[in-house]
């Protein structure tokens, strides 16, 4: 069996096209949708992410503002600024770039963002809404993973699924979203004994631990849906298994997931590539979350947000 690849780039384009239409359709009913990205200190990776966020947002008709705060900004000052953005009716969604400088409490600051403006879905209140089966703004990577599952056309209802990794922003919300969709869910983590025992009979496998090659083909049920959320850099090797180096003498790297792609692709029915799988859908999901945030903030004009609209 050769797995069908779940093309995250294509699904991401589909989501962005839908967001573009939704933004246009809402334009005469509510104020313009606007994202504000807040970063603290100097971080090259964050700077690149912010540029990509701006390009993606403006590409679908969403306004984008970047606010840079000094690394020495006191935590209480940052918290006050986030609360001011909560009160600003022109702001639809707030993104707090991570990692924050050492000494700042990321969870405390994230919780200052109003749940209805929390487009990353990381406020504890939004986590709680997922648990009780009424998700509103969902962590982007978790929702992207569920959207990839749904893109196969197979219903999660009654499906046996396993989530490997139980982080607060990926593994746990995926597990609860699957429960909301009436799948039967097993969650594995660092203390799980005999991981393969929990994966070989599962219809869907989600992996998010940051360990390349953790899941191999012999650990999978034939025809399983495999969503690989891991992102790892590993050395590029030549045909003899020796590391390759660039012209400067630095080791050449490549990006891989947590699944051994070669062996898994011979067993799985559907499989996400890395890169090109979950990542592009995550970026598009931030944009769709901005539309959801707008709907939450304008319930009187637009009505309540439903689970079906979210997924």
pLDDT for residue 310: 81
Q: What is the pLDDT of residues 77-103, one digit of tens each?
A: 999 999 999 999 999 999 999 999 999
| Angle subtended at Cα 76 by Cα 73 and Cα 82, rounded to the nearest 5 degrees | 90
Q: What is the pLDDT of residues 201-235, one digit of tens each?
A: 999 999 999 999 999 999 999 999 999 999 998 88
Residue with tokens 């869907």: 204
For 78, what's the count of Cα atoms within 13 Å in the CB-facing half-sphere? 29
pLDDT for residue 142: 98
Q: Which of the residues in the chain have pLDDT under 50?
A: none
pLDDT for residue 1: 62
Cβ 246 vs Cβ 252: under 8 Å: yes
How far from each other are the two terminal CA atoms of the chain, in whole angstroms? 29
pLDDT for residue 45: 81
pLDDT for residue 252: 86
Domains of the chain: 22-131+282-305 (3.40.50.10860), 152-274 (3.40.50.720)
pLDDT for residue 20: 98
pLDDT for residue 240: 79
Supply the DSSP string of 172-220, one letter for each residue.
HHHHHHHHHTT-EEEEE-TT-S-HHHHHTT-SEEEE-SS-TT-B-GGGS
Q: What are phi and psi of 264, to 5 degrees?
A: -65, -35
Structure-block tokens of residue 227:
């969503």
pLDDT for residue 253: 84
């Amino acid at each position: 069996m050769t797995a069908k690849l779940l093309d995250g780039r294509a699904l991401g384009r589909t989501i962005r096209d839908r967001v573009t239409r939704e933004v246009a359709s809402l334009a005469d009913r509510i104020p313009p949708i606007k994202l504000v990205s807040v970063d603290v200190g100097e971080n090259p990776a964050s700077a690149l992410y912010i540029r990509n966020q701006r390009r993606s947002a403006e590409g679908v008709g969403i306004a984008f503002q970047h606010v840079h705060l000094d690394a020495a900004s006191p935590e209480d000052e940052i918290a006050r600024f986030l609360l001011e953005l909560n009160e600003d009716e022109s702001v639809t969604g707030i993104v707090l770039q991570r990692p924050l400088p050492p000494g700042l409490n990321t969870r405390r600051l994230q919780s200052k963002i109003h749940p209805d403006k929390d487009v990353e879905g990381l406020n504890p209140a939004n986590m709680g809404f997922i648990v009780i089966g009424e998700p509103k703004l969902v962590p982007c990577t978790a929702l992207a993973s569920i959207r990839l599952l749904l893109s196969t056309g197979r219903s999660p209802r009654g499906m046996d699924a396993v989530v490997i990794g139980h982080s607060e922003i990926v593994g746990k919300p995926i597990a609860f979203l699957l429960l909301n969709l009436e799948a039967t869910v097993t969650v594995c983590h660092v203390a799980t004994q005999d991981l393969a025992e929990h994966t070989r009979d599962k219809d869907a496998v989600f992996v998010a631990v940051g360990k390349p090659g953790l899941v191999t083909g012999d650990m999978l049920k034939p025809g399983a849906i495999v969503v690989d959320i891991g992102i790892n850099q590993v050395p590029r090797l030549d045909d003899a298994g020796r590391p390759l180096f660039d012209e400067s003498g630095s080791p050449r790297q490549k990006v891989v997931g947590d699944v051994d792609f070669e062996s898994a692709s011979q067993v799985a029915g559907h499989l996400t590539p890395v890169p090109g799988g979950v990542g592009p859908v995550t970026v598009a999901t931030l944009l769709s979350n901005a539309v959801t945030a707008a709907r939450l903030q304008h319930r009187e004009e637009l009505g309540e947000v439903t689970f079906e609209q979210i997924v």
